Amino acid sequence: MSQVPANLKYTKEHEWVRLDGNRAYVGITDFAQHELGDIVFVEIPEVGAELIAGETFGTVESVKTVSDLYAPLSGKVIEVNQSLIDHPELVNTATYSEGWMVLVEMSAAEDVNDLMDADAYTSHLGE
Amino acid sequence: MTELRRTPLFSLYKKYGAQVVDFAGYEMPVQFSGIVAEHKLVREKAGLFDVSHMGEIEVTGPGAGAFIQKIITNDLIKILPGQAQYSPIANDKGGTVDDVLVYCLNEDEYWVVVNAANREKDWEWMVSHQPENAGVTLRDRSDEIAQLALQGPLAETILQKLTTVDLSQIRYYSFQTNVNVAGVTSLVSRTGYTGEDGFEIYMDASQAMSVFEALMEKGALFGLEPIGLGARDTLRLEARLPLYGHELLDDISPLEAGLGIFVKTAKFDFIGKDALLSQKENGLRRKIVGFEMKDRGIARGGFQVFGPDGPIGFVTSGTFSPTFNKSIGLAMVELSYTEVGTEFDIEIRGKKARAVVVKTPFYKRAKA
């Protein structure tokens, strides 16, 4: 069974969001990392990049395949997880902690309303 | 949409935590614990693969040897009963129909082991070239024969626990029939597709599960685990073993694929000989080379390769090498880009990434 922590928000494209005031940490879910398998490259934008909710902002590549990352909300990237350059496997091993990808300063607080809570995401996985 | 086929081991996949995908019309395990861990296990200890999707075409009769000699590019004269030979099958234009393993059981009895994806094509190819009244009988035995591959430095130690036959007497590319493996009559050959020592074990499909489970049980002590097709691909690619559909195609010749040592144009006659001979004499215009990425990303099969003046070829296979922690691959490029050290660009999702030609195989095991 995939882990779906109760304190996070989710998208149907399998990103997770940890809200911290008007900031949000973004990563991919346990389900997503498991489907991808061993992750070897994470391509994410630089600090200052503007994300638009629902649009692609990077890619995550495993031995098996490559997948786009979709922005869960709009805003400016204020920090990127540099550790993923040398240790992309953190996405597999520490999915909801050190495996985070970008920290975003939200430009539209209402974007949060479009995210799923843990229960909704769990049932999305079951569909 | 035709229904996917399943090997006789399908019901075991779930127990071992497999992710199952469609491969060549079969529901096959792509991975169990994870491609990187499985890959390393085969390099360091041993792994067990279900490769029952491979096809076995039996060729018998007084004309069997002459018939196979006519369709393969290698020289069958070089093997005796109890030996196996790798060979491409060429078409009239010098392209590749398939690459196969020929087992000589007797002078008038052979097995041709073919790729799952080409099973029907090879069957039709063989039937259409079967000489009349020459004493050649063909039989597709793929559904009744299962195949397991036990690969890695501990393969012999593990298999020896399940048989009284002295496995050290089975040399590379040799085999024995009627080997009792865990009570099941098997054909055991010292062959594989990983770049490691190991065995391929053929048995009646109905017995495959019990052999698989016996191996898993005896192998547990040595760390044996089931391995999926994902790691099979990374292992074969590091060892630069070709995969039909990637390095070999109907319009790629075995010479272009770097398999010249398996094309014996000195031999009397075989399908594709004229075309291949002329390629040899006139020189190749393109060739498959190994490359390593200098920029980040994996250059996967089908991606375009560019020189300073435009396209020069395409990637045939690309992956992330678990052994070297690098992005590697094979590409079909114009001859002027094939020297080791030559650089070219590969387009990865709209962006050009730099790669350099390197010596292959990427991985070669240390001789014991």
Residue B367 banded pLDDT, cuts 50, 70, 90: confident
Sign of CA dihedral B123, B127, B128, B134: positive
What pLDDT is stored for residue B239 in this prediction?
A: 98
Per-residue confidence band for A45, with pLDDT thresholds at 50, 70 and 90: very high
pLDDT (0 to 100) of residue B368: 61
A97 to chain B, closest Cα gap in Å: 21
Cβ–Cβ below 8 Å for A66 and B349? yes
Domain boundaries, chain B: 10-51+143-238, 55-140, 285-368
Tell me which residue of B8, B5, B9 sits closest to B24, measured CA to CA.
B5
Q: What Rg value do the Cα atoms of chain B yield, rounded?
A: 21
By C-alpha distance, which of B59, B71, B209 is closest to B135? B59
Q: What is the pLDDT of residues B101-142, one digit of tens each?
A: 999 999 999 999 999 999 999 999 999 999 988 899 999 999
Rounded mean pLDDT, A49-54: 96
The chain-wide mean pLDDT, for chain A, equals 96
Contact B240, B292 (CB under 8 A): no
What does the pLDDT average to over A86-109?
A: 97
Give the pLDDT confidence of B144-183 residue by residue, as tens digits: 999 999 999 999 999 999 999 999 999 999 999 999 999 9
User: Is the torsion defined by CA of B204, B208, B210, B215 positive or negative?
Assistant: positive
- Cα–Cα distance, B228 to B33 (Å, whole number): 9
Main-chain phi, psi angles of A78, to 5 degrees: -110, -10
The closest alpha carbon to B96, from B218, B320, B229, B279, belongs to: B279
Chain B residues with CB under 8 Å of A43 CB are 296-297
Q: What are the φ and ψ backbone dihedral angles of A87, each rounded to 5 degrees?
A: -130, 65
Q: A37 and B230: CB-CB below 8 Å?
A: yes
For range B4-17, the mean pLDDT: 96
If you average pLDDT over residues A9-19, what whole number do you get? Answer: 97
Radius of gyration in angstroms for the set of CA atoms belonging to chain A, rounded to a whole number: 13
Q: What is the mean pLDDT of chain B?
A: 97
Taking the C-alpha atoms of residue B167 and residue B350, their distance in angstroms, rounded to an integer, is: 51
| % of residues, chain B, pLDDT over 70 | 99
The CATH classification number of B285-368 equals 2.40.30.110
Whether the CB of B125 is below 8 Å from some CB of chain A: the reply is no
Q: Provide the pLDDT confidence category of residue B30 given band limits of 50, 70 and 90.
A: very high
pLDDT of A10 strictly over 60: yes
Q: Is the pLDDT confidence value at B2 over 80?
A: no
**A66–chain B Cβ distance below 8 A for any pair:** yes
The minimum CA-CA distance between A20 and chain B, rounded to whole Å, is: 32
CA B132 from centre of chain: 31
Does A87 reach chain B within 8 Å, measured CB to CB?
Answer: no
Residue B28 touches partner A, C-beta closer than 8 Å: no
Residue A9: partners with Cβ closer than 8 Å, 6 or more residues away: A16, A17, A18, A19, A72, A112, A115, A116, A117
- Residue B268: predicted pLDDT: 85
List alpha helices for chain B, DSSP H. 10-13, 35-44, 64-71, 119-129, 155-160, 208-219, 229-238, 273-282
CB pair distance less than 8 Å for A41 and B297: yes
Is the pLDDT confidence value at A29 over 90? yes
Q: How many angstroms from the chain centroid is the CA of residue A72? A: 8
ipTM value of the model?
0.88
By Cβ distance, the residue of A38, A61, A66 closest to B34 is: A38
Taking contacts as CB-CB distances below 8 angstroms, the residues of chain B near A41 are: 296-298, 320
Percent of chain A surpassing pLDDT 90 = 96
Confidence of residue B1 (pLDDT cuts 50, 70, 90): low
pLDDT value of residue B133: 87
Query: How far is residue B184's CA from residue B211's CA, in Å, rounded to a whole number?
Result: 7
Q: Is residue A39 left, alpha or beta, with left meaning phi > 0 and alpha meaning psi from -120 to 50? A: beta
- Per DSSP, the three-state class of B112 is strand
Looking at 1.10.1740.10, 3.40.640.10, 3.40.50.720, 3.30.1360.120, the CATH number of the domain B10-51+143-238 comes to 3.30.1360.120
First to last CA, chain B: 48
Q: How far apart are CA B346 and CA B323, in angstroms?
A: 22
Average pLDDT over residues B47-61: 98
Q: Is A40 on the interface with B (CB under 8 A)?
A: yes
Q: Which residue out of A1, A33, A38 would a mutagenesis test of the B interface target, given it has the greatest number of B Cβ atoms within 10 Å?
A: A38
**Are the beta carbons of B312 and B337 closer than 8 angstroms?**
yes
Band (pLDDT 50/70/90 cuts) for residue A1 is confident
Closest-CA residue of chain A to B35: A38
What is the C-alpha separation between B141 and B58, in angstroms, rounded? 7
What token pair was written down for B3?
A: 């229904």
Residue A107: is its pLDDT beyond 90?
Answer: yes
**Three-class secondary structure assignment of chain A:** CCCCCCCCEECCCCEEEEEECCEEEEEECHHHHHHHCCEEEEECCCCCCEECCCCEEEEEEECCCEEEEECCCCEEEEEECCHHHHCCCHHHHCCCCCCCCEEEEECCHHHHHHCECHHHHHHHHHC
Return the CATH number of the domain spanning residue range B55-140: 3.30.70.1400
pLDDT computed for residue B366 by the predictor: 85
Identify the pLDDT of residue B236. 98
Query: What distance in Å separates the CA atoms of residue B196 and residue B236, rounded to the nearest whole number?
Result: 10
Yes or no, beta carbons of A61 and B34 under 8 Å apart: no
For the stretch B283-316, pLDDT in tens is: 999 999 999 999 999 999 999 999 999 999 999 9
b/e sequence B260-296, b meaning 16+ C-beta within 10 Å: bebbbbebeebbbbebbeebeeeeeebbbbbbbbeee
Instruction: Using an 8 Å CB-CB cutoff, list chain B residues near A92.
Output: 34
> Where do we find the tokens 């593990």?
B158
Chain B residues within 8 A of A68 when measuring between CB atoms? none
Q: Which residue has the tokens 């890619």?
A: A59
Whether the CB-CB separation of B48 and B227 falls below 8 Å is answered with: yes
N-to-C CA span, chain A: 14
Q: Which segments of chain B are extended strands (E)? A: 19-23, 26-31, 47-50, 55-60, 83-90, 96-106, 109-114, 137-140, 145-151, 175-181, 184-189, 198-204, 225-227, 286-293, 304-307, 310-321, 326-334, 343-348, 351-358
Parallel, antiparallel, or unpaired: how do β-strands B47-50 and B225-227 relate?
parallel
